[in-house]
Amino acid sequence: MNRVNIYRTAAKEQTSISNLFIDEYMADANDAQLKIYLFLIRMMDANLPTSVSDIADKFNYTEKDVLRALKYWESRQLLALDYDAAGNLAGIKVLSLDNTYEPPRTAMRITPVLSFIRPASMNTGLTAQTAKQPVPKPVLGTDADSRRKYSPDEIKQFQGNEDIEQLLMVAEQYIGRQLTHSDMQTILFLYDQLHFSSDLIDYLLQHCVERGKKDFRYIEKVALSWHEQGITSAKDAQNASRKYDKIVYTIMKSLGKTTNPAPKELEYIHKWTKEYGFLLDVIQEACDKTVISTDTHRFAYADGILSKWYQAGVQHKADIAAADSSFKKQSESKKLSQKNDTRVRKNGFNNFTQNTYDFDQLEQTILSN
């Protein structure tokens, strides 16, 4: 097919979109997310106010759809959402795209008149008496069989709760299928035993689905991790996710990677950050050494470096020089030992080419002279 030239006529009003947005973000976003983001950019450039209800009316979406799209772009660090003391959405900051991997700078701000009220954290008990009592933080094991199982009557009673009914419907929309009995047990476990608010469960489902994970065992694993970290709100979860995403993409960039991390690469990153507990600057130092040394299998190479540092007790970047010096001395000592072994094997008695003789033939030669 012939190449096509793209050109335009002069226009009085234009909305500028970053090439980085087109190259790195557009393909992963759905139709609603794209429309809403582009509309926000247009309103920001024109310095015009807007609201969630206005955006919903313009694109024939629900206000919940609009808020989900806003939260999606916040999770990708393209927006920052501001809330007032009452928990109402009060402002949207459009963040710059100068550098994907560095903390974005604040651009112009839209200050909308927003009608959506963020759901407050809900009490988890089934009765008014239970709701009044403080909820202790449960001590939970990893064995699912040891957790409380809900009877059909209890599930039916939960479904009579308007918030739970809405939550189950939202979960089906995220997962893309009808929920099984086991799926419902997991959601009720999050709501009733982990004491997650419906807002936090909504964000948990969105967080997992956006990463291609619709398995409820994975969703529960993430929830338990958040519970252990003391995360009690969607905002806490967003901050934790943003911090982890920044670490992931910084490591990817340090290793010369420009794509999203593969599952195996995420396993390495999780190992370095969670199991080894290394700070980002230590991991970056290992990445720098890796890039200098090899063009292939960089994650495995960096893992070798970080594993040695972990065994040597490295905790901070300042500890690296001493650990590397110790490794160097051990390596030189090993080489010297191997060299000495070689000298012993090749001394004056055996360091020559051995000859073979036919002694019977030699005897006959001597006798004949």
Q: Across-strand partners of 82?
A: 91
Q: Which residues contact 32 (CB under 8 A, 6 or more apart)?
A: 59, 61, 65, 66, 68, 69
Pairwise pLDDT comparison (299 vs 117), residue with the higher score? 299
Question: For the residues 209-226, what does the mean pLDDT come to?
Answer: 87
Residue 1's alpha-carbon distances to 4, 5, 90, in angstroms, are 9, 13, 50
pLDDT above 60: residue 188: yes
Q: What is the pLDDT of residue 306?
A: 93
In this prediction, residue 207 has a pLDDT band, given cuts at 50, 70 and 90, of: confident
What tens digit of pLDDT does each residue of 129-157 get? 333 344 344 444 444 445 778 888 888 88
Question: For the residues 166-172, what does the mean pLDDT come to?
Answer: 88
How far is 291 from 244, CA to CA, in rounded Å? 22
Question: For the residues 111-136, what does the mean pLDDT come to?
Answer: 38
Greatest alpha-carbon span in the chain: 124
How far is 63 from 66, CA to CA, in rounded Å? 5
How far is 240 from 229, CA to CA, in rounded Å? 9
How far is 172 from 170, CA to CA, in rounded Å? 5
Residue 81 host element (H or E): strand 79-83
Residues 8, 40 contacting (CB under 8 angstroms): no
Pairwise pLDDT comparison (324 vs 121), residue with the higher score? 324
Phi, psi dihedrals of residue 350, rounded to the nearest 5° = -130, 5
The residue among 163, 184, 65 whose CA lies nearest residue 121 is: 163
* HSE of 105, CA atoms in CB hemisphere, 13 A: 3
What tens digit of pLDDT does each residue of 246-304 get? 888 899 999 998 887 887 888 899 889 888 888 889 999 999 999 999 988 999 999 99
Pairwise pLDDT comparison (356 vs 257), residue with the higher score? 257
Q: What is the pLDDT of residue 9?
A: 55
Pairwise pLDDT comparison (59 vs 148), residue with the higher score? 59
Tell me the CATH number for domain 19-110.
Answer: 1.10.10
pLDDT above 60: residue 11: no
| Domain residue ranges of the chain, discontinuous segments joined by + | 19-110, 128-234, 255-321
Q: What is the pLDDT of residue 107?
A: 39
Question: For the residues 159-180, what does the mean pLDDT come to?
Answer: 86
Residues 79, 133 contacting (CB under 8 angstroms): no
Sign of CA dihedral 192, 196, 197, 199: negative
Q: What is the pLDDT of residue 205?
A: 92
In this prediction, residue 117 has a pLDDT band, given cuts at 50, 70 and 90, of: very low
How far is 220 from 30, CA to CA, in rounded Å? 25
